[in-house]
Structures are given as structure tokens and as C-alpha cells.
Structure 1
Amino acid sequence: MGTVFNKKELLVLLQDFHCLTGLRSAVFDSYGIEVLAYPPELPAYCRLIRSVPDGKTGCYLCDQAACRKATRQKQTIIYPCHAGLIEVITPVQIDGAVVGFLLLSHIVQGADEQSEWSYAQKCCSAYAIDKTALQKAYNVLPHTPYPVLKSAADLLALAAAALYQKGLTRLAAGSAQEKLSRYLAEHLDETLTNETICRDLSLSRTGLYYLSRQLYGCGINEQITHLRIQKAMKLLCDTNLSNAQICQQIGFLDDNYFYRVFRKQTGLTPRQYRDSILADTAKTE
């Protein structure tokens, strides 16, 4: 297992979300598997869906697709589930690595009850579930208007961002995920190639590919570039180092290449970025 969760403290967080929103919230690991939820039991509507093999498979595939999308985009997503309900997912990150997810699920907006029920019924038509039982279970789901849903999604994102700082989640010591994350941080100023990383971490190229996709939602080279630009931004903000000196500390061999990549990633040149930081600092003094 690559991620360790403080379930006792996380349960308090999930209970707080339920108290505020009336919604079921859950923690998923980096593989998209539920680790913890509150309330622990599924609502009757979802139990009916999962009582059918195809419905249970649909739930699993829907969760997996949402996790992959949140990993790629690294942001909160509000999306319709396969059973016609609304769900919210946000990635939990440690140093740019997606190590898990927070979810709010089984949501009905209630803006147009008849059309929303018709849509849900259509989504579930292939599962051959008794319509009366399904509608009865659907009708007791809590209604969450979109403005409230959006506010809950914003709070969920803030909670996810704070999990690592508060010690509620961490990469398991010695796991492949932790080794790769630590390796990149410690060797960012060196020339990093797939061959070097695979050799030093005893990974196959295929293993490195899948590990990077799982953790970062992108290829390893793209993640290395992202980390280098992040470090460059910090150095531009905190030091008076020249571009050439910064290149030495972040593993870029050519400052012209650094200039192009930095501008592509941030929309600013290194000088423009540093000047903007200095200007903001002057305004607050």
C-alpha cells in the first residue's frame, strides 16, 4: 500500500462534512478503492444498483474513471455518475503526487425533480431493477442545490489540500510511491533520465510509466519538468540568483531552454515573474 491514512482523524472530517451537507463523503486510496466513508452504509438507491452485477460493475468503472480524470487534471471535478446522480471528487496530493481522493456522493440537485428522476431512471434502465422500489429509494436522497454543491466542492478541495499538512495522510515509508517521490526531490538538480531512475529504483520502464501515471497523472519527464519549474519559482521569489545559477540547482543544462520552458509553463519570463513578486511585496509593506 502506497498511502497511509489517519482514519481516526479522517472520520471526524467526514462526519463534519455530513453534518454540514447531509451528504455521504468518502476517502479513496490512489487506486480508487474506498478506504473510509461516513455514513458507512450506502443509501438504499445505491444498494439497489449494486445488487445487480452490471450495476456493481458500473459503480466501480465510474469511480475509476473519476479518479483517473481527477489525477490528470489535479483539481476538483463535479460529474454525473453512471446511475444518474451527481458526485464530487478532489485529489489528495503530496508534493504533486496524487495519493488519494475525497468524494461527496449520491447527490440530487432537486432543481427539476421530474426531469432529474427521468434521467436517473434512463441511466438505470439496463439494470432491470423494479421501478417502484428504485423511485422510492431515489425520492429519499437529500437534495443539494447547485450553489450549495459548489460551496461543498470548494470546501472539499481545501480539506484535501490540508490533509498532508495536518498529518492525516502520508506516503508509506519504503513504498514505490514514496521512493519515487523522494528520489525526484533529492535528485532534481541532476540529469534525470528514465534509464537512471529505473536503475536506481530497480524499476522496469513499464513499471515507472504506470507508477508515474498513477501518482502524477502524467509521464515522468513531464512531472520532472513541473517540479523543476516549481523550484525555480521558489528560487526566483526567495533569492537573487541569476537564471544560470538557478539552472544549476534545478537540473537544466541550458538557461535559454529554461527560459522557454518557464515561459511556457507560467506565461511569464523568469524576470517578469520575479518582478511581479517584488511588486506584490512592495504593495504589502
Structure 2
Amino acid sequence: MNVLFNTDKLTRLIANLQTFTGIRTNTFDAAGKDIQLSGGHSDFCRLINASPEGHARCEACDARAVEKCLTARNAYSYRCHAGACETVLPVFESGTPIAYLVFGQLLDDSSVKQQWENAEKELGWYQGDLAELKEAFLRLRRFSPREMAAYAEILEALAQYIQQEGIIRSAEYSDLQKLEMYLDRHYMENLSLKRISADLHMGTTKLCTLSKKLSGGRTLTWLIAQRRVNAAKSLLLKSDEPVSSVAESVGFSDYNYFTKIFKSVTGITPSAYRKTNRS
């Protein structure tokens, strides 16, 4: 799946979250790969990621968490391979996860000593200074499970906002925008499904599907006619050209067909529209 990220807006949102809460939030693509928009790692995670093995373990842990989240179709909280608390939650589009928001690099409010002892058991592979790593672990921020659950709910609302605003969106919506822009530029020309398909490098079936999404269930022909009628309305009021000339200017070669379509959209004929709205 090709997913588009508005990195400027997304980076600003994540930075504002971290400024306000002190909690690091990252963004993963649909495959679970960190797209690296956050303000960086905590000292603990930086030390873990400093070695190739540690980095590989982090990536594998992230991938497993995304799989769990995908199965649950909801926020998934867990301890990472190095003992920190993490939560991953999906950004949906039409019921399909297209990205994930992840927050963590935290500890819960249980005994810090016990949390470190549990983590240390999993860190036998670590070749760096264990004392330095422990100090970094102990500096991780602590939140209660209730506080982390509350933050997860806030991120779920943010995920909906991100999708609705198109900050993260699938390529399908990019194709939708391409179709809309194409029609805005070429509506007055002799258009056909075959020509538009060739110009946009899209299959005819996909074009018909996109047209229905763009028009609320109507056809590509209706979308073209709508733009032509809107342009004709403007010309009828701004110019003194004969109605037949206006029809040709916006792409109608048949005057009678233009009048029929114009009336079906506006409820009145082109001549009546000009007379009514100029008086």
C-alpha cells in the first residue's frame, strides 16, 4: 500500500504532544517501519539502538507489536524487548490500518528496581556499559497504567483527526485528487472514459469507482456535466455571449443537450437563469 504522509503537519503535531506531555510519540508506516518524525530516542533507547544487534531487536519488537495491533484492530500495550513500556495504535482509513502511532520509552509506577531486574534478564546480549544503561533506564519517565491508557485514548482521537484531515492518507485519495484536478482543468474538452483513463494511467473500473466517491454515488459523466454547468452559470452572468456560444465554451457541442443538462442541474433554462440572476 502506498501511503502519503504530510510530514510538516505530522512533525508539528508530534512535537507539540511531546512538549505538552513529555511523552515521545513515533509514527510507523503500514509495514511497521518507523518513519522517524519524532524528536529522537531517550538516552536508554539510544544506547540500545547504538549496536546493530540492539537496533535489529528493536525493529523486530516493533514489527511484532504492529502485528498484534493489526490483529486486535485496537491499541496494543506491551513491554519492549529491553523492558520499556510501549503502546501502538492504528490509523484507519476505510477500515484498513494505513499507519500506526506509537508512544513509550516509559516505565510504569511499579517498583523501578524490579522493572530493571526484569529488563536486565533480557539484556544478556548487550555489550556496552551496563551501569550506564541502568542509569539511563532509571531516568525513564514513569506513568501509571491508568495514565498510559488515558494517553492512548487521546491518541486514538488524534488518529481519527489525522486521517480525516488527510495528514496520513492512502494513494487512493491521491488518485481521487488527481481525477478532481484533471476534470477541473479539462471539463470543457471532448472527454471520454477511455481518454481520461489513458491520461491518468488508471483503469476504467477504478475511474468509475473514484467518480462515485467524488460525486456521492453519481457517474463520471455527471461530474463533467456539473463542472460545465457551473462554468456556464458564471459566463451567463459575466458576459453577453449568446447562450449557444456559452454552451460551446464550456464543452457542449449540442445546444439542445446543453439546455437539457443545465435545466436538470439548476431547475431552469440557461436563458431564464441569466435573466433571473441579472435582474
**TM-score under structure 1 normalisation?**
0.58
Identity between Structure 1 and Structure 2 (%):
27
Residue type matched to 1:151 in 2?
A
* C-alpha distance 175-13 of structure 1, shift in aligned 2 (>3 A): closer
Cα distance in 2 for residues equivalent to 1:46 and 1:10: 22
Aligned to 2:171: 172
Aligned to 2:14: 14
Aligned to 2:41: 42
Q: In the TM superposition, what whole-angstrom CA distance separates every residue of 1:136-193 from its partner, at most 9, and x where no partner exists?
A: 11122111222211111111111112211122111124999xxxxxxxxxxxxxxxxx
Secondary structure in structure 2 of the residue aligned to 1:111: coil
Secondary structure in structure 2 of the residue aligned to 1:98: strand
Rg larger in structure = 2
Aligned to 1:266: none
Cα distance in 2 for residues equivalent to 1:152 and 1:174: 29
Q: Superposition RMSD on alpha carbons, in Å?
A: 2.3
Residues 223-242 of structure 1 mapped to structure 2, 5 A cutoff: none
Residues 63-78 of structure 1 mapped to structure 2, 5 A cutoff: 63-78=62-77
> Are 1:163 and 2:162 matched, yes or no?
yes
User: How far off is 1:21 after superposition?
Assistant: 2.4
Higher relative contact order (CA 8 A, sep 6+): 1
Aligned to 1:86: 85
Secondary structure in structure 2 of the residue aligned to 1:82: coil
Q: In the TM superposition, what whole-angstrom CA distance separates every residue of 1:230-281 from its partner, at most 9, and x where no partner exists?
A: xxxxxxxxxxxxxxxxxxxxxxxxxxxxxxxxxxxxxxxxxxxxxxxxxxxx
* C-alpha distance 137-11 of structure 1, shift in aligned 2 (>3 A): same
Cα distance in 2 for residues equivalent to 1:122 and 1:149: 25
User: How far off is 1:36 after superposition?
Assistant: 3.6
> Are 1:99 and 2:64 matched, yes or no?
no
Aligned to 1:55: 54
Residue type matched to 1:22 in 2?
G
Cα distance in 1 for residues equivalent to 2:21 and 2:50: 27
Secondary structure in structure 1 of the residue aligned to 2:28: strand
Residue type matched to 1:20 in 2?
F
Q: In the TM superposition, what whole-angstrom CA distance separates every residue of 1:14-59 from its partner, at most 9, and x where no partner exists?
A: 12321332111111111111124331x2112112112222211110
Aligned to 1:149: 148
Q: Structure 1 residues 16-25 or 53-62, which shifts more?
A: 16-25
Residue type matched to 1:105 in 2?
G
Q: In the TM superposition, what whole-angstrom CA distance separates every residue of 1:193-236 from its partner, at most 9, and x where no partner exists?
A: xxxxxxx89xxxxxxxxxxxxxxxxxxxxxxxxxxxxxxxxxxx
Cα distance in 2 for residues equivalent to 1:34 and 1:18: 17
How many pairs does the alignment contain?
178
Cα distance in 1 for residues equivalent to 2:162 and 2:89: 12
Residue type matched to 1:147 in 2?
R
Secondary structure in structure 2 of the residue aligned to 1:99: strand
Query: 1:99–1:171: 8 Å Cα contact kept in structure 2?
Result: yes
Secondary structure in structure 1 of the residue aligned to 2:68: helix
Q: Structure 1 residues 29-38 or 83-92, which shifts more?
A: 29-38
**Which ranges in structure 1 are unaligned for 5 or more consecutive residues?**
177-199, 202-285
Secondary structure in structure 1 of the residue aligned to 2:163: coil
Secondary structure in structure 1 of the residue aligned to 2:55: helix
**TM-score under structure 2 normalisation?**
0.59
Q: In the TM superposition, what whole-angstrom CA distance separates every residue of 1:44-84 from its partner, at most 9, and x where no partner exists?
A: 21121122222111101001111111112110011110010
Cα distance in 1 for residues equivalent to 2:74 and 2:108: 22
Cα distance in 2 for residues equivalent to 1:52 and 1:117: 20
Query: 2:44–2:133: 8 Å Cα contact kept in structure 1?
Result: yes
Secondary structure in structure 2 of the residue aligned to 1:71: helix
